[in-house]
Amino acid sequence: MTDTAGEATPGPTGKGRPTPKRPTSKGPVAPPPTTRREAAKRVRQQGATRRQQLRTGRVTGDDEYLLARDQGPVRRLVRDLVDSRRTTATLLLPAAVLPLVGSLSGIKQVEALTQILWIFAITLSLADFVGGGLRIRRAIAERFPDEKRTRGHIFYGIVRMLQFRRLRVPKPRVAVGDVV
């Protein structure tokens, strides 16, 4: 550069802006830890933060954070089909306590009644599994005709039927009674 008198003036050094690939959004880098204890504490905090992000992502159903068994559009359909209905299979676990309570009572009639109720609960659950499996197979055949392996998806749905609705991960996206 030259000024009006013809003398050369030093130009600006650098571009005056950050390099395009420079990570400016991360902010300042934390100073290195001074002790082993501080380093271990930082590692634990970072691990806890990462685990919390993973847990939140899994519960909300974000595909990026889901386990491999829960990923994909077919599994999402299976979850929605199961979550749109109430199932008797969720009552199977609480009903398993009946024979225990009946045997502790010491009364033969109570024992027999609780055994009958237990067998009835198992029968209802098996019927629910068969009906749910057929419904899942039919829905997969309609919406995903190229999907050849349905047995794993049906088993996935049956296992989800056994879980209490509040404890299902990922959380149900559809309400009970919604059409899927």
Please give the biggest Cα pair distance in the chain: 117
* Residue found by looking up tokens 């009835």 in the block: 120
Whole-structure pTM value: 0.74
Q: What is the rounded distance in angstroms from the CA atom of residue 69 to the CA atom of residue 53?
A: 19
Please report, in tens digits, the pLDDT of each residue of the chain (180 residues total): 555 555 665 656 667 776 667 655 567 778 898 999 999 999 999 999 999 999 999 998 888 899 889 999 999 999 999 999 999 988 888 888 989 989 898 899 999 999 999 999 999 999 999 999 999 999 999 999 999 889 999 999 999 999 999 999 999 999 999 988
Q: What is the rounded distance in angstroms from the CA atom of residue 152 to the CA atom of residue 102?
A: 37
In a 3-state reduction of DSSP, which class is residue 148? Answer: coil
Provide CB contacts within 8 A for 85, sequence distance 6+. Answer: 132, 176
Tell me which long-range contacts 73-78 makes (C-beta under 8 A, separation of at least 24).
73/144, 74/140, 74/144, 74/147, 74/153, 75/153, 75/156, 77/139, 77/140, 77/143, 77/144, 77/180, 78/136, 78/140, 78/153, 78/156, 78/157, 78/160
- Per-residue pLDDT, 6: 58
